Structure 1
């Protein structure tokens, strides 16, 4: 797999991904597409990367980097979900982020509380719950579980998915 900064063509595909139940929450609603584009291409601390498999958009990595925090966001395209790629995908997100940003500290993420499959995987990869936060996501109330992990040796070398 190849990882590259997200371009406009890839962003246009990403914002139109449509997920089936119970993951419909991850489908960006029409009214959220412009906001998402602004986030992707702004000069903020967020960095979006496309993960390509044989030239096709397989997933996305997002890194929010500041002086005090290093937070990741990630997603696999709907057609590839549930096929056993999660562990390698998340591990590569962590390893790529550490290498690209030369970062060795705590990594944080938020996950919707209904996404038990992801919560379980993050736990297996060394993340632990540090809190919960109720907030709106594109106007919908959702509770996010806040998780974080320390450095782990197997995250240090990006191997591709």
Structure 2
């Protein structure tokens, strides 16, 4: 049986995570390789995900998982916000369901009986399909700069 572990992002992991590059149109999710970006990885609620001893992705929760937006009412109810990222070479291979299910189980341990919310770019139909398959439903939408986003919630 494969072992999955989670640990708070360390400095060397922040450098690795910032170097991940996704193909277009998912390059929208590439991170800047700046000191500010590294500090966000280290001071936010970011966790690396390892399967066996191989880093396969990350998740974050709380404020770290929210897309900054002027409409503060979008994030006021009592949900836990999550953000996820899978290592680029693993995406598009049918691994998303088990990847997200593993994260959801960890979040449910940390925040029992709290609805889970995530925000996704509307062009990312691959992710939206996965989220809907795992019980998330679109609750709101908004635009930030030139990108439309959906806020999706999974109730208990």
Normalising by structure 2, what TM-score? 0.82
Higher helix content, 1 or 2: 2
User: What does 1:80-159 align with in structure 2 at a 5 Å threshold?
Assistant: 80-99=90-109, 101-136=110-145, 141-151=146-156
For each residue in 1:12-37, what CA deviation from the matched residue of structure 2 results, as whole angstroms up to 9, or x when unmatched? Answer: 1001101112211111134xx33322
Q: Which residue of 1 aligns with 2:7?
A: 4
CA, structure 1 residues 110+67, in 2 after alignment: closer, same or farther (shift >3 Å)? closer
Give the total of aligned pairs: 141
Q: Does 1:75 align with 2:80?
A: no
User: What does 1:25-44 align with in structure 2 at a 5 Å threshold?
Assistant: 25-30=28-33, 33-42=34-43
Do the aligned residues in 1 keep the contact of 2:46 with 2:59 (CA within 8 Å)? yes
Alpha-carbon RMSD: 1.9
Normalising by structure 1, what TM-score? 0.80
Do the aligned residues in 1 keep the contact of 2:80 with 2:111 (CA within 8 Å)? no
Query: Could you list the runs of 5+ residues in structure 1 that have no partner in the other structure?
Result: 152-161
For each residue in 1:78-133, what CA deviation from the matched residue of structure 2 results, as whole angstroms up to 9, or x when unmatched? Answer: 1111111100111111110111x243111100001110000011001110001111
CA distance in structure 2 between the partners assigned to 1:37 and 1:29 by the alignment: 9
Q: Secondary structure at the match of 1:39?
A: helix
Query: Could you list the runs of 5+ residues in structure 2 that have no partner in the other structure?
Result: 64-75
